[in-house]
Amino acid sequence: MSDCTIRFDGKPLTGKAGTPLIEFLAGHGIDLPHVCYHPALGTPQTCDVCWVELEGELVRGCTLQARDGLELSSQARRAGAAREEGMDRLLAKHELYCTVCENNTGDCTLHNTVAAMDMPIQRYAFQRKPYEKDHSNPFYTYDPDQCILCGRCVEACQNVEVNETLSIDFQMEPPRVLWDGGQTIAGSSCVSCGHCVTVCPCNALMEKTMQPDAGPFTGMPQSLKRPLIDLAKALEHTIGAPPITAISKMDMHWRQPEIKRTKTVCTYCGVGCSFEMWTRDRHILKVQPVVEAPVNGISTCVKGKFAWDFVNSERRLTRPLIRDGSSFREASWDEALDLVARRLLAIRDAHGPDSIGFIGSSKASNEEAYLTQKIARLVIGTNNVDNSSRYCQNPATKGLFRTVGYGGDAGSIKDIEKAELVVIVGSNLSENHPVIASKVKAAQKLRGQKLIVVDPRRHEMAERANLYLRPNASTDLVWASALSRYLFDHGLADETFLASQVNGVEEYRQSLAPFTLEFAEQVTGIPRAQLVEAAELIGRAGSVCLLWAMGITQHSHGADTSTALSNLLLVSGNYGRPGTGGYPMRGHNNVQGASDFGCLKNMYPGYEKVTDEAVRAKWARAWGVPPQQLSGEVGSDNFLMVQQADARKVRAMYIIGEETAFSDSDSHNVHQAFEKLDFMVVQDVFLSRTAEFADVVLPACPSVEKEGTFTNTERRIQRFYPVLEPLGDSRPDWRILTDLAARMGHPWGYTHPRQIMGEVAGIAELFAGVSYARLEGWKSLCWPVAADGQDTPLLYTDGFHTDDGKAVLYPLEWKAPAEGPDDTFDLMVDNGRMLEHFQGDNQTGQGLGMSALSPHWFVEVSPELAAERGIGQGCWVRLTSRRGAVELPALITGRVAGKTLFVPIHQGKPGLNLLTGEHHDPDVNTPAYKETAVRLEVLQRAPLEAPLPPGNFRHGQRTPNAGVPVEVKWMRDDYVEPPAHEQHPESL
């Protein structure tokens, strides 16, 4: 943007042309009063508070952008009167009682604007509306009496989150915000993402965590509050508004010392949302997203916005526990750490370094992942270290290693937004990566982006897709390869790109011979015409991003299918340009970082191979030991460690923040293996199912009680800061690991995570330019990061990460899944995370609000299967696999089809993994969770009335619209443009 100069009230102001006027003026310290304008939402034009005069005409200032020669007056009498009239109309809809209002914490747009306008008195009396305050949602309330009908919430819901629940009907009498056209919040399609609450300029939409104690006078009983408000109003008749506003301004100021605002990064998925957390002591007042957040801006999902009550759970671990017979006893840190150090060293000396295995946490920080592998490699001398990416992401990473070289997303979320076509495969994006889903939904709704979804389950993104393909389970490699062949056969392959940037083209092309459309149709069950349509869309799109997740990776050939998807992108020339690339959606907040920072059996931090002598020598030199002290052998991963524990080859395990006993496949075998260990340490926030097997349990802190960095699915490294002090005697993982290493003869002496990051950056080339200074505040870096701090949001713009800089087309064969249906086990169990759950519900299960959304474990059954087997809603069924059985109520839904069931993975004891088996992808040892065949028996038991409660958002009916229909308001007979006075301001 070039510079321009405008004249505002006679003063010349220079800044970037095209900047919205309100922002432009703010940059010069001028506050043009406004309420409905929001930088993330644009200009709803509903508040009528920002009038200025342009060439003698009144214009809403929010609709203007800075340009040379723009000459405006805000001081013209008419403009001032119009602004005041606009505010008077808002106050007819909103009762001011700011000193006793929870929202007067400093960011109440309405209060601050009223105060800034300094009006002597409001013109119109406040009119109550004939609607009750809606308390039905567990997390927030809507008070129609306080709602000014600005429509920010509608804009956020319709065009940012794109859940399309909210609307305003300006023809209602009086209008109000509507959920699904007139439902209570509970039971509507509202997913509680919190966008509307975040942008509400007053207290109409407000977090329940703010109510009632956000201010010193807000918690008083209504029986006192009401007379106090009435008293102030009576006085206001005589003394006017300014003295009363002065009190509320003082109230806003004296709240500030007790409110702490801290930037943190969400830990509920790999998107990497960052936001401010507002706290008063240990009370989390609210999560407040900000426009500056590099990934999400104002967006959050229900977990990021509302699911933090677990940090104050009474079930938090706060003291070390030591096994004592058939129970635990509390112990001091000295006793617990001494015991751990002594036992691990003794086991290492007795059985060798490889008798000990470490599972690092994909929820803990990069620095903590680094220390985990450093203890394993340097102190113990083993490469037996892994993280939970083994259960989800390693097949995707393998596919990328084979074809393009880096094990991470090819670009950023902005590239996904830019793409002409997005293809989502095996990913329930709107439930598992909700904020990325919002970006895709917005690009589709507002900018015409095309969307293809391939998934056995008809989830929200499938419903929204321009083309939805429903393949048979475990057959994705076939359609992906058939599409590649189609592109070659029909001149849609990017031959120029292939010739200049890709190796192995001809060999790959020949390997596609079996993948005809007929074969693909037969194996996948996708009609040939749909395959052709998909191929044509991909082949002809200017830019394509392909997103995939567990629906692809958790199969016996997940690495191959991931490779096939990357092959398809190469054939169509969709790497290395804005809006292109492959995007495995990382599931946990730091599953990318845990691998990046070395919690892998074969890689040092920065994906440097343990088998490379030069690499080993480099790390040994940096750590001050001879190379021989570090193992040059690839270690064991999670899957093998558990098997080796069962075989008594692994004698001790150290598990950090992972729920292996619940989330690893075939739970029975996992539990049996854990019981055979000589010694087991678990470091966690809660006494997880895994911790129940431990000899020592070390109480760790969640992210909000420590400092560090996380790396999201885009390879973006972001800092998080301590919101709260550690609870009780719990400690940050990095400190526990540092203290433990010292007790094992390695006094590293870290006193702050920045020192750890500094050490990694000095050794691993991938992170050479990473430093805490460069990550300060809202700044972030996408690896690889050069020593000068230059980062790489979009990969492969200068070639691929291979020896010769060219990508590789990797030939594949179709292999049948390791487990499929047969006569005995005739149904397949698809499975996955639900929006409101995370990691065995250890965190999301601690608060009543989250638990209330879907308290029951259930199995989704297709209507056709239900009819065939006589299964009614809530009917109890037993699912039996080759490993075990579980009993669940049935939820009949069209989300699943035919003989495929769906079971949520994070609920229930003992959990889905009683059914899953040890069959796995041999390339990466990832269990084939999605290849679980079962038989179903209907149980003679009284049905569960509502497997999914009536208030659950899945029952709602969305009401898509373009946003706030302000034109309808303007067209009403009783609307007159300010400064003229209004007859019914409460309605407009």
Partner 1 sequence: MAERIENYRVRPPKIGATAEDELNQLLQTLHERGILRFANDLAGSQAEVMKVLVGGLSKPGTLNAIQNLSILGMALSRIPPEQFYKVAFALRDGFASVAGYQPEAHGKEAPGVSGAYRLLHDDDLWRAIAPLLAGLKTFAEGLEREVDKPISAFSGKSSDF
- Phi (first) and psi of residue 424, to 5 degrees: -110, 125
In the complex, minimum distance from the CB of residue 730 to partner 1, in angstroms, rounded to a whole number:
8
Q: Which amino acid is at 263?
A: K
Report how far residue 873's alpha carbon sits from residue 735's, in angstroms, rounded to the nearest whole number.
Answer: 50
Assigned token pair, 788: 């000068």
Q: How far is the CB of 313 from partner 1 (least distance, A)?
A: 9
As separate numbers, helices (DSSP H) first and strands (DSSP E) second, the chain gives 32, 39
Applying CB under 8 A, the span of 473-481, 629-637, 678-686, 800-808 interacting with partner 1 comes to 678-686
Pick from 239, 291, 350, 962: which binds partner 1 (CB under 8 A)?
239
Please say whether the beta carbons of 589 and 266 come within 8 A: yes
Part in contact with partner 1 (CB under 8 A); list of ranges 174-182, 325-333, 560-568, 814-822:
325-333
Helix (H, G, I), strand (E, B) or coil at 684: strand
Measured from the CB atom, the residue of 320 and 965 that comes closer to partner 1 is: 320
Candidate list 57, 314, 788, 803; residue touching partner 1; CB under 8 A: 314
Pick between residue 326 and residue 510 the one whose CB is nearest to partner 1. Answer: 326
Which range in 684-692, 751-759, 894-902, 969-977 contacts partner 1 by CB under 8 A?
684-692
Q: Which of 39, 728, 805, 922 binds partner 1 (CB under 8 A)?
A: 728
CB 176 within 8 A of CB 129: yes
Binding mask 195-234 for partner 1 (x = CB under 8 A): --------------------------------------x-
Contact call for residue 125 and partner 1 (CB under 8 A): yes
Question: Closer to partner 1 at the Cβ: 367 or 695?
Answer: 695
With respect to partner 1, which residue has the nearer C-beta, 103 or 688? 688
670 near 658, Cβ under 8 Å?
A: no
In angstroms, the CA 916 to CA 929 distance is 6
Does the footprint of partner 1 cover residue 124 (CB under 8 A)?
A: yes
Nearer of residues 314 and 798 to partner 1, judged by Cβ: 314
- Per DSSP, what are the bridge partners of residue 808? 503
| 693 contacts partner 1 (rule: CB under 8 A) | yes
The amino acid occupying position 951 is G
Per-residue HEC secondary structure of 462-483 comes to HHHCCEEECCCCCCHHHHHHHH
- CA-based R_g, the chain, Å: 30
- Give the residue carrying structure tokens 């000990």: 356
The two three-digit tokens of residue 646, written as one number: 């069962």
Least distance to partner 1, CB of residue 335, Å: 17
Task: Specify the stretch interacting with partner 1 by CB under 8 A; choose among 520-528, 576-584, 689-697, 792-800.
Answer: 689-697
In the complex, the smallest distance separating the C-beta of residue 890 from partner 1, rounded to whole angstroms, is 28
What count of residues does the chain have?
Answer: 988
> Quick one: angle between helices 476-489 and 528-540, nearest 10?
60
Count other Cβ atoms within 10 Å, centred on residue 636: 23
Q: By CB under 8 A, tell whether 848 contacts partner 1.
A: no
H or E segment and range at residue 453: strand 450-454
Q: Cβ closer to partner 1: 59 or 228? A: 228
Q: Which is nearer to partner 1, 262 or 312 (CB)?
A: 312
Q: Judging by beta carbons within 10 Å of its beta carbon (0-12, 13-18, 19+), is residue 794 exposed, middle or buried?
A: buried
3-state secondary structure 405-417: CCCCCCCCHHHHH
Q: How far is CA 256 from CA 214, 215, 259, 280, 705, in A?
A: 11, 10, 5, 10, 21
- Residue 359 in the binding site for partner 1 (CB under 8 A): no
Selected from 126, 131, 772, 970, the binder of partner 1 by CB under 8 A is 126
Count residues near partner 1 (CB under 8 A): 46
Residue 684 near partner 1 by CB under 8 A: no
Residue 680 sits in the site that holds partner 1 (CB under 8 A): yes
Smallest separation, CB 314 to partner 1 (Å)? 4
Q: Which stretch binds partner 1 (CB under 8 A): 121-129, 399-407, 476-484, 796-804?
A: 121-129
Shortest Å, Cβ 257 to partner 1: 8
Q: Of 63 and 332, which CB lies nearer to partner 1 in the complex structure?
A: 332
Contact (Cβ atoms closer than 8 angstroms) between residue 520 and residue 531: yes
Considering beta carbons, is residue 50 or 694 the nearer one to partner 1? 694
One-letter identity of residue 230 = D
Binding piece for partner 1, criterion CB under 8 A, among 124-132, 189-197, 368-376, 625-633: 124-132
Binding mask 504-543 for partner 1 (x = CB under 8 A): ----------------------------------------
Instruction: Pick one of 23, 169, 330, 864: the residue that binds partner 1 (CB under 8 A).
Output: 330
Tell me the three state secondary structure of residue 546: strand
Q: Binding partner 1 by CB under 8 A: which of 128, 133, 315, 668?
A: 315
> Would you give the distance in Å from CA 567 to the centre of its chain?
27
Q: Two tokens at 904?
A: 């949520």
| Token reading at 377 | 């490699």
Q: Residue 660 is encoded by which pair of tokens?
A: 């292996």
Is residue 674 part of the contact set for partner 1 (CB under 8 A)? yes
For partner 1, give the closer residue by CB, 235 or 529.
235
Cα–Cα distances (Å) from 904 to 159, 686, 748, in that order, read 29, 21, 43
Q: Quick one: 226 or 282, whose CB is closer to partner 1?
A: 282
Binding mask 273-312 for partner 1 (x = CB under 8 A): --------xxx----------------------------x
Torsion sign, CA atoms 639, 644, 647, 652: negative
Among 16, 123, 882, 984, which residue sits at the site for partner 1 (rule: CB under 8 A)?
A: 123
Q: Which of 2, 326, 510, 940 binds partner 1 (CB under 8 A)?
A: 326
Which residue lies nearer to partner 1 by CB, 235 or 617? Answer: 235
Please answer whether residues 557 and 817 qualify as being in contact, where contact means their C-beta atoms are separated by less than 8 angstroms. yes
Bridge partner list, 600: 603
The nearer residue to partner 1, 241 or 933, going by C-beta atoms, is 241
Q: Considering the complex, what minimum distance in angstroms separates the CB of residue 711 from partner 1?
A: 31
3-state SS track over 783-846? CCCCCCCCCCCCCCECECCCCCCCEECCCCCCCCCCCCCCCCCCEEEEEECCCCCCHHHCCCCC
Q: Is 822 in the site for partner 1 (CB under 8 A)?
A: no
CA 648 to chain centre: 39
Amino acid at 839: Q
Q: Which CB atom, from 239 or from 614, has the smaller least distance to partner 1?
A: 239
DSSP code string of 524-544: H---HHHHHHHHHHHHH-S-E
Site for partner 1 (CB under 8 A): which residue of 694, 879, 886, 890?
694
From CA 708, how far away is CA 27, in angstroms rounded?
32
Segment lying near partner 1 (by CB under 8 A), choices 70-78, 158-166, 321-329, 749-757: 321-329
**95-97-100-102 Cα dihedral, nearest 10 degrees:** 50
Q: How far is the CB of 119 from partner 1 (least distance, A)?
A: 8
Which residue of 277, 423, 677, 865 would you call a contact of partner 1, by CB under 8 A? Answer: 677
CB of 662 to partner 1, least distance (A): 12
- Residue from 546, 687, 875, 966 binding partner 1 (CB under 8 A): 687
Burial class (CB in 10 A: 0-12, 13-18, 19+), 357: buried
Could you check whether the bond before residue 979 is cis, i.e. omega within 30 degrees of 0? yes
Task: Enumerate binding residues for partner 1 (CB under 8 A).
Answer: 119-126, 233, 236-241, 281-283, 312, 314-319, 321, 323, 326-328, 330, 671, 674-678, 680, 686-687, 692-695, 727-728
